[in-house]
Amino acid sequence: MFKVLGDSLKELFDNSIVKALIPVLTLVLGFYGRRLIDWFSWRRKQFLHRIIVSLNTFHDGKLLLRTIMEKSCEEVFLNSYAVNVVISAAQKTTDKDPILPIPKDEAWHILNSALNAIAEEFHQGVVQRDMGLPVKAERYVFCLTHERAEDVKQEKIRLLMIRSDVLANLPKEMPALESPHHRLRFETLHKMAETRKTKPELFAEVEICMPA
């Protein structure tokens, strides 16, 4: 029976019409499969293929969160394997620990790609300094996170930037917030400061130059 079935299937796929339809069917299934995945992502508000670079500052006693840029993971990490490493790490975070547990032997390469993406946004200041023009330079520490909580409106991979000296001296008490759900970010920043002491490989620093 199995031989007959196998022969029948072979005959079917040897048919020229079926051969011609296979690429079309593959294209259709890929198109609708992508749409189905996008629908599930939208319903869950989970977009782990996107990365947001977020600047975290304290001004007049208030925590301010500002988006520097948003790109697809493919634009930042440039390699499908690296993207899979990042997304896989993002899926392992918890509401108690939002920092991506990137494997130690992959961390430098992942963070260096992220550093290059940030540096590209601020290249003008570096050139101005080289030309002898006045600039202001600060060092920022960053890591990759995936924050999870009921009041997180959209789950995305976030690269959190904060001045190195500020991260080392975070206020202990909750500061004034622009939005109530920003309390989670304050908790994440404290988790960053704590984790940097034990897992420094998950962090990197970038120097930002801006016209003075």
pLDDT in tens, 98-110: 999 999 999 999 9
Closest CA to 209 of 142, 140, 141, 135: 135
| pLDDT interval class at 169 (50, 70, 90) | very high
Higher pLDDT, 179 or 101: 101
Average pLDDT, the chain: 85
Q: Work out the percent of the chain whose per-residue pLDDT is above 70.
A: 76
Give the whole-angstrom CA distance, residue 95 versus residue 97. Answer: 6
The pLDDT of residue 36: 42
Which own/partner pairs from 40-48 qualify as long-range (CB within 8 Å, at least 24 positions apart)?
44/155, 45/153, 45/154, 45/155, 46/154, 46/155, 47/154, 47/155, 47/156, 48/73, 48/87, 48/90, 48/91, 48/146, 48/155, 48/156, 48/157
| pLDDT interval class at 149 (50, 70, 90) | confident
Higher pLDDT, 14 or 154: 154
The pLDDT of residue 47: 80
- The mean pLDDT of 185-192, rounded to a whole number, is 96
**Residue 142 above 50 pLDDT?**
yes
The pLDDT of residue 2: 54
- The mean pLDDT of 118-139, rounded to a whole number, is 92
| pLDDT interval class at 10 (50, 70, 90) | low
Higher pLDDT, 42 or 75: 75
| pLDDT interval class at 153 (50, 70, 90) | low
| pLDDT interval class at 182 (50, 70, 90) | very high
User: Which segments of the chain does DSSP mark as H helices, in order?
Assistant: 2-14, 16-44, 73-77, 80-90, 104-121, 123-130, 164-167, 183-198
Q: Which of 34-43, 56-65, 130-139, 181-190 has the lowest mean pLDDT?
A: 34-43
